[in-house]
């Protein structure tokens, strides 16, 4: 007779108050549902006809935008599975700066298709295996779909005096930038892409691989229209210099991070003044000390001071007397950038800079743009009149796009579109290959992946086919956002027919968002301008979307600890005091 071992009940494994969700219904399907909600939130903002979302964040700031990266950053997603998608889209934003919406939308669609397979009885491991095979096939076929590539972005030397080479590069760059900018700011893509191309080429180093997106800045000035926006070579600050001196050329620059003012003592004291003479002489010592400091700075040859903190009235008086221009830059990030432009070392003490610590600027001037006074800090480039070969022009290329617009929200949205455009240039420098846009590439990949799945054996063929069907979401969503659901389905059916045909260039057929004929167009040879997308951005988006979907599918239970902190006090309406 065997001995019965008593079973222990209620083993306390985790801290009290934890949540444990497991199994297909509780964990997997609920995760898929959460991800679909996030995907549905941003998919209506996809493409040129995407709708704007009005978001008010936890600080009460208002955003009106169709940029997926901004939407998901400001809504503060807390669901753990949806957060995996948010992290994938943030990785895309950091790496490519564009196609964040594509990552969320494709991952959401992959999980939607996997839900059907789970209900049919497939296990998550089979679906994951099929998705990974399909992803590898899609990335392999994507390499073959490149129709053209961007020409070399090295600007011709200014000594050649030929503007043809520069204008050819600007035109090629503009045509590559129009599709990504049009997806954010439809109908403004012509002017915005020209501005971004001009600014990027102005700061393009001799080796384009060293291109720094931080060298293209944006300054927003309210009023006027987008047509009045322009590119200014150098850094532009939305304020004028503090003192009377507003302009300096070929000047030595000193940058101070501390306040330019009389030093305050740590302790407070009381002073008894007995007559008028004592009162007049009370601050005389401080004045003499301050005058001595600024005389030393002026004798060191400094003509421009950039101050990162307050500038006192007495200090300003001596700066005006010694004919030194002073500009306040309160942002520490802008202070770092201006140090890079002028080649100066920021000083934490008030005093004359050493030759190594001082910087140099070719032009420091205050100009008027649309009624607002702004300050421009500019280095002359080779080929500019008055260029100094010994200056810092080549090392510190910087261009600023001065944006004009009617409202602050519109200017913010234009700035986001410009940021996307500059990041697209960075990705095109890594890999200049372009593929057909307007959903053509995704539909061609869908067709090839479905055909590949049909030739496979075993259960993984179902998930490979579903992966192909999920890629259809891009042309479908473009068509639905532009023409509505029923018309969208009709356009996708026509596109399938064109891609299945044997005609040459069938891979280039995509969605015509203006639907001037039947809702389809040949993207590489579109009537207005060719619609081409960056191959590397699409490659990263497919990779990250698949990884995010696989991560969600591989979760079989969720364990949440009890949140830290005391109980939440419910908000009470009306007066909380009983005596009121």
Phi, psi of 57 (to 5 degrees): -80, -175
Confidence of residue 25 (pLDDT cuts 50, 70, 90): low
Confidence of residue 3 (pLDDT cuts 50, 70, 90): low
Of 160-169, 365-374, 403-412, 531-540, give the lowest mean pLDDT range: 160-169
Confidence of residue 17 (pLDDT cuts 50, 70, 90): low
- Predicted confidence (pLDDT) at residue 156 exceeds the cutoff of 80: no
Quote the mean pLDDT of the chain: 77
Distance between CA 257 and CA 332 in Å, rounded? 9
Q: What is the mean pLDDT of residues 32-45?
A: 82
What pLDDT, on the 0 to 100 scale, is given for residue 516? Answer: 64
Distance between CA 314 and CA 319 in Å, rounded? 9
- Predicted confidence (pLDDT) at residue 515 exceeds the cutoff of 70: no
Contact 380, 362 (CB under 8 A): yes
Of 34-48, 105-119, 148-162, 375-389, give the lowest mean pLDDT range: 148-162
Q: What is the mean pLDDT of residues 278-292?
A: 72
Distance between CA 222 and CA 406 in Å, rounded? 6
- Predicted confidence (pLDDT) at residue 485 exceeds the cutoff of 60: yes
Of 99-103, 176-180, 216-220, 554-558, give the lowest mean pLDDT range: 554-558
Confidence of residue 23 (pLDDT cuts 50, 70, 90): low
Q: What is the mean pLDDT of residues 59-80?
A: 80
- Predicted confidence (pLDDT) at residue 472 exceeds the cutoff of 70: yes
Contact residues for 73 (Cβ-Cβ < 8 A; gap 6+) = 90
- Predicted confidence (pLDDT) at residue 393 exceeds the cutoff of 50: no
- Predicted confidence (pLDDT) at residue 291 exceeds the cutoff of 60: yes
Q: What is the mean pLDDT of residues 550-563?
A: 73
Query: How do residues 422-469 score in pLDDT, each as one tens digit?
Result: 888 888 888 788 888 788 888 888 888 888 888 777 787 888 888 888
Q: What is the mean pLDDT of residues 300-329?
A: 82
Q: How far is CA 36 from CA 39, 88, 109, 115, in A?
A: 5, 15, 8, 11
- Predicted confidence (pLDDT) at residue 255 exceeds the cutoff of 70: yes
Where is pLDDT greater, at 504 or 567? 504
Percent of the chain with pLDDT over 90: 0
What pLDDT, on the 0 to 100 scale, is given for residue 211? Answer: 79
Where is pLDDT greater, at 104 or 14? 104
Distance between CA 325 and CA 248 in Å, rounded? 7
What pLDDT, on the 0 to 100 scale, is given for residue 580? Answer: 44
Query: How do residues 325-373 score in pLDDT, each as one tens digit?
Result: 888 888 888 888 888 888 888 888 777 788 888 888 888 888 887 777 8
Please give the DSSP secondary-structure letter assigned to residue 392: S
Q: Strands (DSSP E) along 207-272, which ranges? A: 216-222, 230-233, 235-237, 247-256
**Residue 218: helix, strand or coil by DSSP?**
strand
Residue whose C-alpha is closest to residue 309's, from 357, 352, 261: 261
Distance between CA 128 and CA 462 in Å, rounded? 11
CA atoms within 13 A on the CB side of 383: 11
What pLDDT, on the 0 to 100 scale, is given for residue 161? Answer: 46
What pLDDT, on the 0 to 100 scale, is given for residue 220? Answer: 84
């Amino acid at each position: 007779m065997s001995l019965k071992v008593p079973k222990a009940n209620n083993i306390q494994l985790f801290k009290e108050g934890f949540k444990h969700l497991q199994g297909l219904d509780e964990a997997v399907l609920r995760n898929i549902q959460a991800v679909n909600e996030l995907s549905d939130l941003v998919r209506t903002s996809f493409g040129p006809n995407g709708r704007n979302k009005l978001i008010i964040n936890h600080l009460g700031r208002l955003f009106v935008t169709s940029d997926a990266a901004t939407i998901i950053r400001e809504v503060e997603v807390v669901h753990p599975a949806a957060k995996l998608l948010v992290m994938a889209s943030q990785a895309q934003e950091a790496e490519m700066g564009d196609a964040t919406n594509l990552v969320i939308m494709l991952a959401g669609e992959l999980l939607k298709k996997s839900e059907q397979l789970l209900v049919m009885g497939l296990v998550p491991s089979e679906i994951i295996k099929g998705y990974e095979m399909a992803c590898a096939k899609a990335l392999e076929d994507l390499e073959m779909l490149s129709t053209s590539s961007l020409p070399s972005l090295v600007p011709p030397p200014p000594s050649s005096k030929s503007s043809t080479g520069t204008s050819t590069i600007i035109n090629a760059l503009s045509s590559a930038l129009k599709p990504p900018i049009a997806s954010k700011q439809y109908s403004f893509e012509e002017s915005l892409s020209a501005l971004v191309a001009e600014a990027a080429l102005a700061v393009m180093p001799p080796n384009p691989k060293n291109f720094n997106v931080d060298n293209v800045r944006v300054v927003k000035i309210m009023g006027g229209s987008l047509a009045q926006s322009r590119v200014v070579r150098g850094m532009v600050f939305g304020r004028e210099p503090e003192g009377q001196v507003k302009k300096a050329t070929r000047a030595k620059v000193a940058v101070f991070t501390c306040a330019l003012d009389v030093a305050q003592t740590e302790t407070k004291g009381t002073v008894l003044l007995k007559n008028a003479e004592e009162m007049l002489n009370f601050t005389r010592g401080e004045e003499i000390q301050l005058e001595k400091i600024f005389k030393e700075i002026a004798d060191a040859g400094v003509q421009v001071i950039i101050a990162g903190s307050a500038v006192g009235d007495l200090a300003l008086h001596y700066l005006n007397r010694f004919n030194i221009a002073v500009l306040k830059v309160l942002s520490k990030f802008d202070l770092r950038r201006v140090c890079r432009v002028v080649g100066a070392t920021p000083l934490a003490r008030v005093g004359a800079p050493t030759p190594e610590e001082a910087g140099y600027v070719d032009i420091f001037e205050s100009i008027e743009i649309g009624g607002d006074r702004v300050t421009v800090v500019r280095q002359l480039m080779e080929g500019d009149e008055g260029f100094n070969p010994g200056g810092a022009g080549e090392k510190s290329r910087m261009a600023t796009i001065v944006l004009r617009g009617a409202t602050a929200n519109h200017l913010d949205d234009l700035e986001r579109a410009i940021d996307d455009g500059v990041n697209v240039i960075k990705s095109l420098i890594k890999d200049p290959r372009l593929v057909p846009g307007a959903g053509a590439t995704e539909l061609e990949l869908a067709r090839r992946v479905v055909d590949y799945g049909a030739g496979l054996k075993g259960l993984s063929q179902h998930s490979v086919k579903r992966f192909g069907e999920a890629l259809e979401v891009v042309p479908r969503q473009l068509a639905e956002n532009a023409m509505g659901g029923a018309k969208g389905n009709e356009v996708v059916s026509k596109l399938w027919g064109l891609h299945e045909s044997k005609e040459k260039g069938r891979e280039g057929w995509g969605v015509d968002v203006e639907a001037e004929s039947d809702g389809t167009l040949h993207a590489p040879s579109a009537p207005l301008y060719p619609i081409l997308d960056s191959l590397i951005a699409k490659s990263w988006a497919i990779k990250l979307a698949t990884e995010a979907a696989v991560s969600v599918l591989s979760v079989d239970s969720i364990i949440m600890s009890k949140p830290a902190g005391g109980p939440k006090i419910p908000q009470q309406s009306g007066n909380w005091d009983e005596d009121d």
